Amino acid sequence: MADVNNKNLIPIAEARSRLSLVWFVGAGLIFLTLLGASFGNVFAGQLQEVWSASLPTVLPIVSLILSVLGASAIVARRTDDPEEGDAKGETFVRRDFYRLTFGLSIGYLLLILVSFFAHPFVTAAKAPEVTSADLLDELNASNLDGEVTAHEGASAADVIILSNLWLAPVQGLVVGAMGILFFTKKE
């Protein structure tokens, strides 16, 4: 049994609780960002593709957390021995592993959010230098409907869909660390 006074250990229930908070807040921010951008027509014509690419970035981990928290919320207690409770079989995790998992989680959630807000920067980096004279020439050359499409670059939806290239490997690391913390059984 682990030395409960060891400062290098943290109760696994506490680690799960803190990580759950990070993930539910992070997933909520991501969901609200997606919802706002969807209603704001940011993903014009690619709404389904964006949601299909975005939901798998957080739902598996949030589902894992919810299922483990739900399963551990159901506690069987013997009525004939009220002294024997949860404290007897408390499990601990090394603090450095908890910190690693916490850092991976925060970093991954921020990476997802950055992917949503990267579009203006990606577009600016890819767009050639355009002068106002070029834009006027382009507007005059259009068929008088006011549409200017020559310098659009990648759409916001394209950036989010592309972000799965770097999000997937990081998600694998996070799932591995979270799985260890959330599937460890009490001794």
pLDDT per position as a tens digit, 128-171: 555 555 545 655 555 444 443 434 567 888 888 889 899 999 99
**Is residue 161 assigned to a domain?**
yes
Q: What is the mean pLDDT of the chain?
A: 80
**Is residue 80 assigned to a domain?**
no
Provide the domain count of the chain: 1
State the Cα–Cα distance between residues 70 and 68, nearest whole angstrom.
Answer: 5
Residues linked to residue 10 through DSSP beta bridges, in sequence order: 93
Residue 2: the pLDDT is 53
Mean pLDDT on 48-73: 91
What is the tens place of the pLDDT at every residue in 96-110? Answer: 999 999 999 999 999
Quickly tell me which residue has 């909520």 as its tokens. 28
**Is residue 81 assigned to a domain?**
no
State the Cα–Cα distance between residues 151 and 147, nearest whole angstrom.
Answer: 11
**Is residue 136 assigned to a domain?**
yes
For the whole model, what pTM was predicted? 0.73
**Is residue 55 assigned to a domain?**
yes
**Is residue 135 assigned to a domain?**
yes
Tell me the residue range of the domain where 176 lies. Answer: 9-75+86-183
**Is residue 28 assigned to a domain?**
yes
**Is residue 125 assigned to a domain?**
yes
